Amino acid sequence: ADGELVQYHYGLKDLVTILFYIFIAIILHAVVQEYALDKINRRLHLSKVKHSKFNESGQLVAFHLTSVIWCLYVVVTEGYISNPRSLWENYPHVYLPYQVKFFYLCQLAYWLHALPELYFQKVRKEEIPRQLRCIALYLLHIAGAYLLNLTRLGLILLLLQYLAEFFFHMARLVYFTDENNEKLFNVWAVVFVVTRLFTLTLYILVIGFGLPRVESQALDPERGNFFSFLFNNILFRMSVLLLVCLFQASVMWRFIHFQLRRWREYWNEQSSRKRAAAAAGGTRQQTKLLKRDSGYHENGVVKAENGTSPRTKKLKSP
């Protein structure tokens, strides 16, 4: 009311806040599971493997949709999209608006709550390493952006990542309900490629052109300036950009390999269906020919093709 703008910094009290929201996330997870996913599972009668994947995708669809809407609201109201310069101007961004800090704390709480959920959901042992790797990567990137004062860049990157993940898990849910419906996977493929291009462009813009122009180029951990001075060195800057490009290229290569394998399986399935249909048609044709050779029945009487009786006539003796 008096025009004061309150901003926040990270500290040890964040751990208590994160712990509180871990319990909130566990409760919300149970609510979505019991009142939505379990009811759908009982109708679909899925196998154990599909049941586990359906639950995973259902929970992540709810989380990614909420996060995309929330993150989009934050970046729009804070002006990060309308003014891309704000992603690196006045770095380090030590003091955060309330909604930015709260968003990061909730993100950390959600991915930390996913660890005990592996036990509560009775995830299969084969799936645990993959899910642990995914959780660790999310925690590493979100905590890194939060602690290294790259929260603005982190918000945009999370928005792009969550958007692609939402379409992927939504496509999986539709596929589990109807295995012949794979249209959403094509939508996910387009969104994935577009988000990768935006991500790479954003990295080049911020690392290659933004951070090297920051006024404060000295190492100053007390002020939160950890590594902007490194980007003043063109060799270091090009090395980082090369690593980023190689990483994105590896992700795209895996994606292309997956799509090619998926299309190959699709065309093999279609060709096998055509061969089966052709074989069935040939069998029906042979059946018709056999009936035509041996005559056909009409009103209980076997007749030949020209309509005459197939039995030979007896000649009367003169």
Query: What is residue 178's predicted lDDT score, i.e. its pLDDT?
Result: 82
How many domains does the chain contain in total?
1
Segment 10-37, tens digit of pLDDT: 999 999 999 999 999 999 999 999 999 9
Query: What is residue 318's predicted lDDT score, i.e. its pLDDT?
Result: 45
In-domain check, residue 241 = no
In-domain check, residue 291 = no
Distance separating alpha carbons of residues 242 and 37, to the nearest angstrom? 43
Q: Across residues 2-17, what is the average pLDDT?
A: 87
In-domain check, residue 282 = no
Query: What is residue 286's predicted lDDT score, i.e. its pLDDT?
Result: 67
Query: What is residue 21's predicted lDDT score, i.e. its pLDDT?
Result: 97
Query: What is residue 6's predicted lDDT score, i.e. its pLDDT?
Result: 87
For the chain, the three-class secondary structure string (H helix, E strand, C coil) is CCCCCCCECCCCHHHHHHHHHHHHHHHHHHHHHHHHHHHHHHHHCCCHHHHHHHHHHHHHHHHHHHHHHHHHHHHHHCCCCCCHHHHCCCCCCCCECHHHHHHHHHHHHHHHHHHHHHHHCCCCCCCHHHHHHHHHHHHHHHHHHHHCCCHHHHHHHHHHHHHHHHHHHHHHHHHHHCCCCCHHHHHHHHHHHHHHHHHHHHHHHHHHHHHHHCCCCCCEHHHCECCHHHHHCHHHHHHHHHHHHHHHHHHHHHHHHHHHHHHHHHHHHHHHHHHHHHHHHHHHHHHHHHHHHHCEEECCEEECCCCCCCCCCCCCCC
In-domain check, residue 58 = yes
Task: Read off the pLDDT band of 226 (50, 70, 90).
Answer: low
Query: What is the domain range of residue 69?
Result: 7-232
Query: What is residue 317's predicted lDDT score, i.e. its pLDDT?
Result: 47
Q: pTM here?
A: 0.80
Segment 253-303, tens digit of pLDDT: 988 888 888 788 778 877 887 888 777 776 766 666 555 555 544 455 555
In-domain check, residue 136 = yes
Q: Which residues contact 132 (CB under 8 A, 6 or more apart)?
A: 118
In-domain check, residue 272 = no
In-domain check, residue 259 = no
In-domain check, residue 281 = no
